[in-house]
Chains A and B, each alone.
Chain A
Amino acid sequence: AQRVTQPEKLLSVFKGAPVELKCNYSYSGSPELFWYVQYSRQRLQLLLRHISRESIKGFTADLNKGETSFHLKKPFAQEEDSAMYYCALGPNQAGTALIFGKGTTLSVSS
């Protein structure tokens, strides 16, 4: 079964601390993985996708097929990073929509 698991509902860190938002997926093929972010009172928006291999707002995520993980990382958290983060799986099949995890709320305090 295709599934995305974000084990943490809430992650609280201090400003300047490293952040790792966990995401594990279940899919037999070669998926595409995404991270979406929703800041307070803003729309859900794409943060990054694994095929781009880019860093957005200091965040990176590496696809680990062996561990079926796509954890989101940032070395030094900022208060403005506080938001809801969703990991999403894009099955590599034409005509299949994204599958989202339940989301993790990141709270960064000073």
Chain B
Amino acid sequence: ETGVTQTPRHLVMGMTNKKSLKCEQHLGHNAMYWYKQSAKKPLELMFVYSLEERVENNSVPSRFSPECPNSSHLFLHLHTLQPEDSALYLCASSQEWEMNQPQHFGDGTRLSIL
């Protein structure tokens, strides 16, 4: 199924490692999102990109660094993470960054910090 693809599906890393999460969408959408899904918290919006420009950053620590090289790809660069960063990271896309557009989600990357 074409849609939103995230890699890797699982990632285990130490606190001193540097890794990147990748998201790719083949829907022709102009907006892409990173969410964090923790076990005991609501889905948290981390970043929003519209036409490759970051339009929202919800007070996310600087150890998370997003990158959107084009409207089809979104990365989340990780470095010196903390154990509390272990979570499912979801990527989503929507047609436009406005007015309640339905979002299409990837399967997520399950991140575990040792």
Chain A interface residues toward B at CB < 8 A: 4, 31-32, 34, 36, 42-46, 49, 86, 90-92, 94-95, 97-103
Chain B interface residues toward A at CB < 8 A: 4, 33, 41-43, 45, 48, 50, 55-56, 90, 92, 97-100, 102-108
Q: Which of B43, B48, B50 contacts A86, CB < 8 Å?
A: B43
Q: For B90, what are the chain A residues with a Cβ–Cβ distance below 8 Å?
A: 44
Number of A-B contacts (CB under 8 A): 50
Q: Are A94 and B105 in contact (CB under 8 A)?
A: no
Q: For A101, what are the chain B residues with a Cβ–Cβ distance below 8 Å?
A: 42
Question: 21 A–B contact pairs at CB < 8 A?
Answer: A4-B42, A31-B100, A34-B102, A42-B107, A43-B4, A44-B92, A44-B105, A45-B104, A90-B100, A92-B99, A94-B98, A95-B50, A95-B55, A95-B56, A95-B98, A97-B33, A97-B45, A98-B45, A98-B100, A99-B45, A101-B42
**Dominant secondary structure of chain A at its interface with chain B:** loop
Q: How far is the CB of A17 from chain B (nearest CB, A)?
A: 27
State in angstroms the CA–CA spacing of A68 and B104 once bound together. Answer: 26
Q: Are A97 and B48 in contact (CB under 8 A)?
A: yes
State in angstroms the CA–CA spacing of A32 and B104 once bound together. Answer: 17
Q: Which of A36, A43, A86 contacts B108, CB < 8 Å?
A: A43
Q: For B56, what are the chain A residues with a Cβ–Cβ distance below 8 Å?
A: 95, 97
Q: Which of A4, A36, A43, A92 contacts B100, CB < 8 Å?
A: A92
Q: For B98, what are the chain A residues with a Cβ–Cβ distance below 8 Å?
A: 94-95
Q: Are B107 and A46 in contact (CB under 8 A)?
A: no
- The 5 tightest CB contacts between A and B, nearest first, are A90-B100, A100-B43, A32-B100, A44-B105, A94-B98
